[in-house]
Amino acid sequence: MRRTVAVLTGLCLIVVAAACGERGQPSSAPPATPSASSERPAPGDHLLTLEHNGADRTYLLHASPGYDPNRSSALVIALHFYPGSGASMQELAGLDAKADKDNVLVAYPDGVGGGFNALICCGSQDDVGFLTALTDHLVQTWRADPNRVFLTGISNGGDMSFRAAVEGAGKFAAIGVVSGGYSGTLTTAESFVPKSPVSVITFIGGQDRYASTFQTGMQTWQQRLNCRPSPKASGAPGVTRTLASCADGSEVSVYTIPDMGHSWPGATSGQLAASAAGVSATDLMWEFFAAHPRRA
């Protein structure tokens, strides 16, 4: 089963990971792709490569105008849908504007063949290994704070966030999952949970064809981590929010938007944008990440 984005827009054609018209690579990204050995940390948008398992993996990196390589910064790694690209995720999520205010690094990796080897699809790459290697590189070279590294993703990228949270050896403090879930063959094992605390905020559209799968996955996640429900918090009109505190010290926040489909709530541009959803996933997960650095 694949969670696939279909785009039917006039004469535009999707070529693996490129989106239509203005949804391709941002004009601000340089044409060259420096390797890890030649890149120079500085403010701006950077199109970079990192060798992993003998292959050059590409990613966009956004450093705020106030970025200082002599000061540590939080890091958000944002994972795209299938088929997609780092550039399409950069357009959709609107994370750069938040990063510019708070001096945070944002990385947008490209999946191989337009996708990540997540819980259901896509491909056979060692994407958990790539994401952990990317984290280590950005900690060492770009001074990302190892205690404030966060993952977010939508659809296939959301599934990948769950897989990396479990298999990523404590690299990630929290994940923000949009229209993605904890499901698939790997998750049938009781032991398939993080060995160190990883907090979760997730957004589920009630009209998403996978909504019941996502809800069941979150119930399973909380049962396995012995999470206890907290008093129901108030949210936007028509939006359900549940909170839970888990035995390992992590927290889980689940937003359900009844009238939304397979989308990113609050996004104003890009594929899968749902500007009228009533909440902003970007704003809410940004606040959640700030409140959930890595726990010992």
Tens-place pLDDT, residues 86-119: 999 999 999 999 999 999 999 999 999 999 999 9
Specify the pLDDT at position 16. 30
**255 neighbors 239 (Cβ within 8 angstroms):** yes
**Residue 15: pLDDT above 60?**
no
Has residue 148 got a pLDDT over 70?
Answer: yes
* Residue 177, phi then psi, degrees to nearest 5: -110, 125
The residue-averaged pLDDT of 24-28 equals: 34
Quick one: pLDDT at residue 37? Answer: 58
CA dist 198 and 194 (Å) reads: 7
Q: Residues of the chain with pLDDT > 70: what percent?
A: 86
- Check the CA dihedral 9-15-19-25 and report its sign: negative
Q: Structural domains in the chain?
A: 41-290 (3.40.50.1820)
pLDDT of amino acid 272: 98
Residue 287, pLDDT > 90, answer: yes
What does the chain come to in residues?
296
Q: Tell me, what's the pLDDT at 238?
A: 85
CB 89 within 8 A of CB 163: no
Say how far apart CA 48 and CA 224 lie, in whole Å. 38
Task: With a cut of 50, say whether residue 28 has pLDDT above it.
Answer: no
Q: What is the pLDDT of residues 252-266, one digit of tens each?
A: 999 999 999 999 999
